[in-house]
């Protein structure tokens, strides 16, 4: 069937769909261009500031090394490592500490939050301990965790978990409680079971709020990684930056900071891509 033989209404709808797809691609290209421009502006501002001649080169190397100096420090670290370990090792060990805690909180914390949102009894049982421990500074608990769990990886992982678990569980609980009651009542009127309502109504409607909690947790988790690597460790990106600061190796400190920033940004972008795939209807009601 040729285009001229199509029903006029179908042809109009196909044209509108093509226009929407084209507009979406143009918007995506514009967003990528603006993001790259934003990074370029920050890099140019950094380069201009360090090359302005406002302070002697010796002072500059201590307080704010140039992008070129930081890049050279990165290449040197990549080739010879830091404190007897390769840069890849430091990156991977930090990712492992963060990843174990992050995945645990998604696998356990999100379902706990969903149950709290679905059941008043579960919420009454679990909400007090979560809300009571949530305001406690987690780094203050690190020495206690070391006493309880030793100086190995377990204590460092648990301190990250204690920061992320309340956030993810509460985000999931609030996402469930914000689901429109009319949608649930409509499903009930059609004879849907409790499990069907959860799977087809509550969970899909809760996913945007759950992903918001996950994305916020990425930044907090990277921050907690710094605290976890402050005590009783000899590897990791945060430890590398903190150790270099003791010797006023500012270029290495900035390498560590930029790697952690790239880690957090990349994980956030991954979460955005997954969210766009799973929750493609969000904002289109």
Digit-coded pLDDT (tens) for 96-154: 999 999 999 999 999 999 999 988 899 999 989 998 888 888 888 888 888 888 888 88
- Residue 3: DSSP 8-state: G
Tell me the two tokens of residue 234: 């000899």
What pLDDT score does 15 carry? 54
Coil, strand, or helix at residue 82? strand
Which are the contacts of 105, defined by CB distance < 8 A and separation ≥ 6? 161, 164, 165, 168, 217
| 216 membership: H or E segment, kind and range | helix 203-228
What pLDDT score does 1 carry? 47
Place of tokens 């460790």: 233
The beta-strand segments (E) located in 131-183 are none
Max alpha carbon distance in the chain (Å)? 78
Euclidean distance between CA atoms 39 and 27, whole angstroms: 19
- The angle formed by the CA atoms of residues 97, 102 and 106, to the nearest 5 degrees, is 155
**CB half-sphere exposure, 280, CA atoms < 13 A:** 3
What pLDDT score does 189 carry? 84
Tell me the two tokens of residue 51: 């090359």
Q: What is the pTM of this model?
A: 0.80
Name the stretches of the chain with pLDDT < 70: 1-24, 51-61, 281-285
- Residue 231: DSSP 8-state: S
């Amino acid at each position: 069937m040729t285009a001229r033989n199509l029903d006029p209404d179908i042809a109009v709808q196909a044209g509108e769909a093509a226009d929407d797809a084209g507009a979406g691609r143009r918007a995506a290209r514009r967003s990528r261009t603006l993001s790259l421009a934003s990074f370029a502006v920050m890099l140019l501002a950094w380069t201009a500031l360090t090359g302005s001649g406002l302070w002697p080169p010796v002072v500059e190397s201590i307080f704010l090394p140039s992008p070129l100096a930081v890049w050279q420090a990165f290449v040197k670290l990549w080739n010879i490592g830091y404190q007897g370990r390769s840069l890849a090792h430091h990156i991977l060990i930090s990712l492992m500490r963060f990843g174990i805690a992050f995945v645990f909180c998604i696998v356990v914390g999100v379902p706990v939050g969903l149950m709290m949102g679905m059941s008043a009894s579960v919420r009454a049982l679990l909400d007090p301990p979560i809300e009571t421990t949530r305001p406690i500074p987690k780094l203050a608990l690190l020495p206690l965790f070391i006493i309880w769990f030793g100086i190995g990886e377990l204590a460092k992982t648990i301190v990250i978990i204690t920061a992320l678990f309340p956030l993810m569980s509460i985000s999931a609980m609030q996402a469930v409680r914000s689901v429109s009651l009319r949608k649930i009542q409509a499903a009930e009127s059609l004879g849907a079971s409790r499990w069907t309502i959860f799977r087809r109504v509550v969970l899909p409607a809760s996913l945007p709020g759950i992903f918001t909690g996950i994305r916020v947790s990425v930044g907090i988790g990277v921050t907690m990684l710094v605290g976890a690597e402050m005590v009783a460790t000899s590897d990791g990106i945060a430890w590398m930056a903190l150790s270099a600061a003791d010797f006023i190796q500012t270029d290495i400190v900035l390498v560590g900071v930029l790697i952690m920033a790239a880690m957090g940004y990349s994980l956030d972008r991954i979460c955005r891509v997954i969210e766009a795939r799973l929750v493609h209807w969000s904002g289109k009601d």
